[in-house]
Amino acid sequence: MVAQRGRRNGAAAHKRTRGGATPDADNAPTAEIPAVAENGADPEVRAKSIPEAAVARLAVYLRILSAMAEQGATTVSSEELSTAAGVNSAKLRKDLSYLGSYGTRGVGYEVAVLVGQIERVLGLTRQHKVAVVGIGNLGHALANYGGFPGRGFPVEALFDIDPDLIGVPVGGIPVTHLDDIPQVCADRQISIGVIATPPAAAQTVCDRLVEGGVQCILNFAPVVLQVPEHVEVRKVDLAVELQILSFHVARRADNEPNGKVAESTVAGNGAVLQS
Amino acid sequence: MVAQRGRRNGAAAHKRTRGGATPDADNAPTAEIPAVAENGADPEVRAKSIPEAAVARLAVYLRILSAMAEQGATTVSSEELSTAAGVNSAKLRKDLSYLGSYGTRGVGYEVAVLVGQIERVLGLTRQHKVAVVGIGNLGHALANYGGFPGRGFPVEALFDIDPDLIGVPVGGIPVTHLDDIPQVCADRQISIGVIATPPAAAQTVCDRLVEGGVQCILNFAPVVLQVPEHVEVRKVDLAVELQILSFHVARRADNEPNGKVAESTVAGNGAVLQS
DNA sequence: GCCGCTTTGTGCCTGCGTTCACAAATGAAC
DNA sequence: GTTCATTTGTGAACGCAGGCACAAAGCGGC
């Protein structure tokens, strides 16, 4: 079962300006799953939706499964996989259930099948060409990742505004000028743009990427990007990450003014504690 | 997002292992707030708890507010700030309310006060020394950020395993060998460790950081780290981010097999549009 | 062929986070 | 001093995600 092509999703989650939110996921984005081939008479709603949070975890499972496969494992139980991924086994099973039923009760899951299904749902069966904009320290690092972590994400274009960089190959690809973003992206069918420019340039770069037909943007610049409805943005913000960690340090320091602790992050649900 | 935390579930059953989850936030981590040193008779409202998701947003607000302050703004309304941050204004107000009541009804918030309060709650009033482990492409980029985005996070130690790198200064700081992590971290009072090593080395490095007294870890390696309860881990996973984007591309392709869309997806505030 | 063990798949419950909507508070105008 | 326009702060409703626990479903042994 499960062909491709989904039928509409009744959801229609309202999106707002988006572009924000680094760490936490948007809530309830829920997206449609490929689902079955529709032939009309659908008993009930076939198309299922996958919570964004689950999607993120699926990516993690995929990596672990790939590693397992490489080591010759052919099957895994939800228990195994869940501990490896650091999640609750029930949650893992629920996540996998979004893919369909590919497990065998009493046995577990076939690693190869799972890998294939996750790749299908995540859209990894086809390549997504990546462009990196801003070849500074970070951009350099990204460009050199070479094909980017995991296969399926070949870097095929690099952009910068610095004249000295134009034409210089980085990681095998010559750097092009910012002005050519729309043209080059369109030509090379870039689908993912990575912004690693200074904050001031980010929005402009973003606009050009969109103009070039880029559908998804990974933004490392500490700016909230404004994009049209149909463009997906994810943000990775170093400063925010550090500040969140800072918060936890501070919290801990406050909770244990006397240096004595225990508890700390424990708690069944709410930390609870009084100073 | 992300990530993080992982507390919960006091169940003796399975251990949580934490360290996982990149993007989405766990739910309800809630942590205690510093609580001002107010002298005034504070009815109650002492220790409140701040959802992790809110903490992440506060960091974003902080940056926007800082920028506003630099441009001479002295007050902002929740509406202004919320649109700048790309969030719902009600959410913003609730987030700010975790700090205490620092707004003036009918007027708005005083930028300077807000900045101060957010810094206080995020623990930015003191410096958090950072160590970067793994001086490869990414590590290099991180080390060169110089003081890291935003002040308050000085990089004070660099580590790598490559003999050719040991002693070489990067961004002004000489690289030390991995073996010296515990010692150096303890000596220099490092509180945040950044792991930018290959996946295979990550866990070992992590253990040494913990041994050196590091309380928080920012992990760029695609591995689920095992850490003691009292250590906080946040993970930034490039591959996962890309795969999530890939998922959205795929989803979109499935939803509009005919290139027709409609389904304008309104928006709480943003634009509408139909193609 | 039947029984029992193992592991999946999921219905249900709980709880957090988001959003709405409104009362309270404040400054300005008169 | 009173009223009006504004904007905050928050109680309550809602919805999603997480976790538990169990029924369903294979597999192997007898």
A91 touches strand D (CB under 7 A): yes
Provide the pLDDT for residue A251.
82
Sorting pLDDT into bands at 50, 70 and 90, what band is B250? confident
Residue A18 included in any domain: no
CATH number, domain of A229, equals 3.40.50.720
The answer to whether residue A167 is domain-embedded is yes
Q: What CATH number is associated with residue A113?
A: 1.10.10.10
Write the pLDDT tens digit of every residue in A33-58. 443 333 333 333 334 689 999 999 99
Mean pLDDT value across residues A134-161? 85
Shared domain check, A188 and A161: yes
Confidence class for position A193, pLDDT limits 50, 70, 90 = very high
Q: How high is the pLDDT of residue B41?
A: 33
Kindly state whether residue A104 falls inside one of the protein's structural domains.
Answer: yes
Q: Is the pLDDT of residue B199 over 50?
A: yes
For residue A164, being part of any structural domain is answered with yes
Instruction: Please say if the pLDDT value at position A124 is more than 60.
Output: yes
Q: Identify the weakest region by mean pLDDT among A108-112, A211-215, A221-225, B262-266.
A: B262-266
Mean pLDDT of B130-140: 94
Considering the domain architecture, whether residues A112 and A210 belong to the same structural domain is answered as: no
Domain count of chain A? 2
Instruction: Give yes or no: residues A178 and A107 share one domain.
Output: no
Question: Would you say residue B268 has pLDDT above 60?
Answer: no
Asked if residue A45 is part of any domain, the answer here is yes
Residue A257 belongs to some domain of the structure: no
For B198-202, what is the mean pLDDT?
95
A69 within a domain of the structure (yes/no): yes
| Statement to judge: residues A218 and A136 lie in one domain | yes
Partner-chain contact B242 A121, CB within 8 Å: no
Q: Are B231 and B162 in the same domain?
A: yes
Q: What is the pLDDT of residue A48?
A: 60
Separation of B238 CA and D8 C1' (Å): 39
Given pLDDT bands bounded at 50, 70 and 90, which one contains residue A178? very high
Does any domain span residue A8?
no
pLDDT at A147: 59
Q: Are residues B103 and B138 in the same domain?
A: no
Nucleic strand D within 7 A of Cβ B109: yes
What's the pLDDT tens digit per position in A253-266?
776 665 443 333 33
Range of the domain at B165: 130-236
Long-range own/partner contacts, residues B142-146 (CB < 8 A, 24 or more apart): B142/A238, B142/B194, B142/B196, B143/B170, B143/B171, B143/B173, B144/A137, B144/B170, B144/B171, B145/A137, B145/A238, B145/B171, B146/B171, B146/B172
Which residues in chain A touch residue B269, judged by CB atoms under 8 angstroms apart?
16-17
